[in-house]
Structure 1
């Protein structure tokens, strides 16, 4: 790993903020690194409030969207809530449909089939709407590039409201309203919402129209928090407020579907990390293995017994997903080694038999292994479909744009994207993508980075520090768990490898006679020899809590050592 130190804020600013907030200079430093420089910004950070959410009508076209929905309700029209099959899409559909149904019955949901229809708005979905007399489609987490699909719907007298958060193309679809904070002509103050977040802003606007308060909408925030966690959007601004209050709902009064998914988890309180690793993969598994409809059925079910049955099915899909993911990752690794491509600037693999539902996960696994921009292709009908994942600070969307001549379509974010192409264009695309990345990526980005917030001594660590650090939660991009570096640590003689393969490292460390702390390094078992016999070492780590036999103690979660 590359250890990089975050820039140190101006020392006068650190002292001034520490004095104003009555905190240590270490805490003031961490806040300034997160662009929190005033008392008011610190208040919003440590005491987020739903009242700090922006007025939804600041979003371009929001008035048009609300007006069209109100007209549909007045005229007794059928409304179809349409969304993508991943966590962001299915939570968004569950959110908007369940809100609308709370006062209007003529609402149905539609999730496209991952294999038959692919990502985004589909002609099949529009045909379904026409056949079943839907005159308004609300598209969530998709649609910003669906110019032809919306034109097709317009010809059939079906109106579209698009709620998306992906980057628009050169032309916007001719929908009644296009809600997307990434529109160049949208001046909404926060443009990092996920798809479900944009859906929530629509609900917030509708609620405002009905004299409902934000308190009335809190029951939906478990869905929004799940989407924010799963979609890996920045944990700043509105996202952080929605995630914080959504986590509170998950931990106190989750909807039956989420309650059924987490009831076997033996933890007092779930964190955003738990949402990412426990709730999100299970919701995703429905769309990957069976159909996204099953996730929506779970998330909109109000009977706990029925929700538990749905959760049981989804647990099975998740188990199948794990098996497929393991098998395909093994096959992909073999292909890379056979083709002698481990030294490439990119990782691009293809097998027509790989399950389309798990290629995104496999792309993530390969990125972890080789730390390269990665694309995994499989056959989908008469074309190839792929999932792409990037490394920190490299924009894979821009790289794909540079190779667009070889692609049928593509879309996504800086770090994750999807695409389709004709099979005969695969080799040319692979070559072009390798060339583009080689020409544009900084060599440093091909080595995993651990970004250090501050260098401290072990004597700086105590219960008070941990208590304040816990208030930095929820963590996520742009508000990651603080990482510290300490030099000249020594193990006190307890170092050992743990786990079945002994691939994790357990230590008890001290520094210059300080109090000792337990430390654990997941995946660092191969460094055992370096720390034996009290050999001094430097380490980067997060400060954690360890609970054992009812006793809670401070623990260092090591990220790397040297």
Structure 2
């Protein structure tokens, strides 16, 4: 594990900000590192406001999209809301359906089957629309590369509005409107929205045309926050505002479906991290194991009994997903060893019987074990389908582009992608991918790195310090929960391994004075117990622990040396 301490920002700027905000310089320097250098910027950061959302009409084609939907409603046309089967896609569809359904009944939803239709807009979906007299499809979280599909729909008299956030290709589909802030010709000020975020901008535009206030859209933001968290987009700008208010909705007045998912949780207040690890995997499990329609039904349900039934079914899918994930990961690790591939620059594994719905999760697990770009293949519809995951700092999408001679189709982001190849090209692709990565990756990137925000003395840590840190939430990419380093700490002699299989480390630490002890927990750090006999350095995040009704600050250890 590499420790990388962020460089200290300019001390004059830090002191000035500390004075303006009446906070200590350690906190001020963390803010300056994140681009917050004035009282006004701090105010916008700590007090996100819906008023700071951009005008949706700044997005290219927004005017066209709004007038096409208004025309469809006036002419009583049938509208099909189409979305991908992951969290971003199902929340997008649920969002658009919830909003339009309030004023118009001629709408339906469509989620492609992960196994029969694959990712994105499908010919089957367009045929379904044609057979059932839909004349407008609103595609969410997909469609930016659906050139032929949109043309096919046009032949059948069906118009398309595309709301996507994935990287466009050289050509844009000839749809009625293509909303995507990443379009080269789109001057929208914020480029990092997720698919559901782009869908929300369309709703914001429709609402403003209907003289609705922004506040009226607040109940929809639980879905947007869930998508932002699950899609791991930067927690900056509009994403931060939408996630901030969406979390409030999740905690105070969640829709019936989300309520049904979280009703057995003991936690009073959910964070973005809880959305990532509790809500998102369950929504995702529907499309991975059965069909993503379950997720849309849950998220659009107004019937508590029905929502409860679907939530129970989804819980079962999630349990099954966990079992498959465990089995396939174990089998993949055996395959890497048997093929003598431990020393490679990449992991590429394949088994025709692996469940297509969990190969993405397995790719993430393998990346945790052998820290390098990873691709997991399985058989699907006579071809090989795969999920790719990368390591911090390496663009796997770009690497796949360099292997395109062996790829049928691919799409995705810098750190996660999906691809399809012909079975006979597997070995050639595997060798080419290894060669591309070997020749282009900075070798340092193959060792996990922890970026440290600041060095702290234990005397810096106080309830007030923690309270201000908490106000920096919601945390996520580009606004991570701060990680601190403290040097020359000692355990008071009661340090031990804990947990069912003794994989965790529980310590009581002091720095300098043995009488002021602070508790620490290190998940999966049990094997570092030998390092605690003398002085050692630690990396950690600040947390709270409640035990027997008493809440105290604790350190959540990330590493120790």
Tell me the TM-score normalized by structure 2.
0.99
Deviation of the 1:37 alpha carbon: 1.5
Deviation of the 1:207 alpha carbon: 0.5
Matching residue of 1:274? 274
Matching residue of 1:206? 206
Matching residue of 1:546? 545
> Partners in 1 of 2:477 and 2:231 — Cα distance?
11
Matching residue of 2:525? 524
Residue 127 of structure 1 aligns to a residue whose secondary structure is helix
Query: 1:366-404, CA deviations, whole angstroms, 9 ceiling, x for partnerless residues?
Result: 011111111100001111100011111111111111111
Tell me the TM-score normalized by structure 1.
0.99
> Partners in 2 of 1:27 and 1:536 — Cα distance?
26
Deviation of the 1:7 alpha carbon: 1.8
> Partners in 1 of 2:126 and 2:215 — Cα distance?
35
Matched, 1:372 2:372: yes
Matching residue of 2:418? 418
Query: 1:524-551, CA deviations, whole angstroms, 9 ceiling, x for partnerless residues?
Result: 100112113xx11000000110111110
Deviation of the 1:34 alpha carbon: 0.8
Deviation of the 1:221 alpha carbon: 0.4
- Aligned residue runs from structure 1 range 328-347, under 5 A: 328-347=328-347
- Aligned residue runs from structure 1 range 144-223, under 5 A: 144-223=144-223
> Partners in 1 of 2:529 and 2:447 — Cα distance?
22
Residue 145 of structure 1 aligns to a residue whose secondary structure is coil
Deviation of the 1:362 alpha carbon: 0.3
Residue 362 of structure 2 aligns to a residue whose secondary structure is helix
Deviation of the 1:343 alpha carbon: 1.0
Residue 165 of structure 1 aligns to a residue whose secondary structure is coil
Matching residue of 1:101? 101
> Partners in 2 of 1:141 and 1:297 — Cα distance?
18
Residue 493 of structure 2 aligns to a residue whose secondary structure is coil
Deviation of the 1:80 alpha carbon: 0.3
- Aligned residue runs from structure 1 range 387-466, under 5 A: 387-466=387-466
- Aligned residue runs from structure 1 range 77-92, under 5 A: 77-92=77-92
Residue 229 of structure 2 aligns to a residue whose secondary structure is helix
Query: 1:70-97, CA deviations, whole angstroms, 9 ceiling, x for partnerless residues?
Result: 0000111000000000000000000001
- Aligned residue runs from structure 1 range 271-350, under 5 A: 271-350=271-350
Q: Which moved more, 1:72-81 or 1:12-21?
A: 12-21
Matched, 1:29 2:20: no
> Partners in 2 of 1:393 and 1:70 — Cα distance?
44
> Partners in 1 of 2:206 and 2:7 — Cα distance?
43
- Aligned residue runs from structure 1 range 470-509, under 5 A: 470-509=470-509
Deviation of the 1:6 alpha carbon: 1.0
Residue 181 of structure 2 aligns to a residue whose secondary structure is coil
> Partners in 1 of 2:408 and 2:41 — Cα distance?
45
> Partners in 2 of 1:69 and 1:238 — Cα distance?
24
Matching residue of 1:59? 59
Q: Which sections of structure 2, spanning at least 5 residues, go unmatched?
A: none
Query: 1:458-495, CA deviations, whole angstroms, 9 ceiling, x for partnerless residues?
Result: 11101110000000101000000100001000001110
Matched, 1:244 2:253: no
> Partners in 2 of 1:414 and 1:8 — Cα distance?
28
Matching residue of 2:227? 227
Residue 546 of structure 1 aligns to a residue whose secondary structure is strand
Residue 274 of structure 2 aligns to a residue whose secondary structure is helix
Deviation of the 1:426 alpha carbon: 1.0
Query: 1:223-245, CA deviations, whole angstroms, 9 ceiling, x for partnerless residues?
Result: 00000010000000110111110
Query: 1:273-307, CA deviations, whole angstroms, 9 ceiling, x for partnerless residues?
Result: 10111100000000000001110000000111110
Deviation of the 1:16 alpha carbon: 1.6
Query: 1:330-374, CA deviations, whole angstroms, 9 ceiling, x for partnerless residues?
Result: 110000010111111111100000000000000000011111111
> Partners in 1 of 2:27 and 2:54 — Cα distance?
28
Residue 191 of structure 1 aligns to a residue whose secondary structure is coil
Residue 76 of structure 1 aligns to a residue whose secondary structure is coil
Deviation of the 1:439 alpha carbon: 1.1
Matching residue of 2:555? 556
> Partners in 1 of 2:112 and 2:420 — Cα distance?
16
Deviation of the 1:98 alpha carbon: 1.2
> Partners in 2 of 1:5 and 1:441 — Cα distance?
22
State the number of aligned residues.
Answer: 560
> Partners in 2 of 1:190 and 1:37 — Cα distance?
20
> Partners in 1 of 2:299 and 2:230 — Cα distance?
15
> Partners in 1 of 2:424 and 2:36 — Cα distance?
51
Q: Which sections of structure 1, spanning at least 5 residues, go unmatched?
A: none
Deviation of the 1:509 alpha carbon: 0.2
Residue 205 of structure 2 aligns to a residue whose secondary structure is helix
Deviation of the 1:36 alpha carbon: 1.1
Runs of 4+ in structure 1 deviating by more than 6 angstroms, as ranges, are none
> Partners in 2 of 1:382 and 1:430 — Cα distance?
18
Query: 1:182-209, CA deviations, whole angstroms, 9 ceiling, x for partnerless residues?
Result: 0011111101000000000011100111
> Partners in 2 of 1:73 and 1:232 — Cα distance?
34
> Partners in 1 of 2:210 and 2:27 — Cα distance?
43
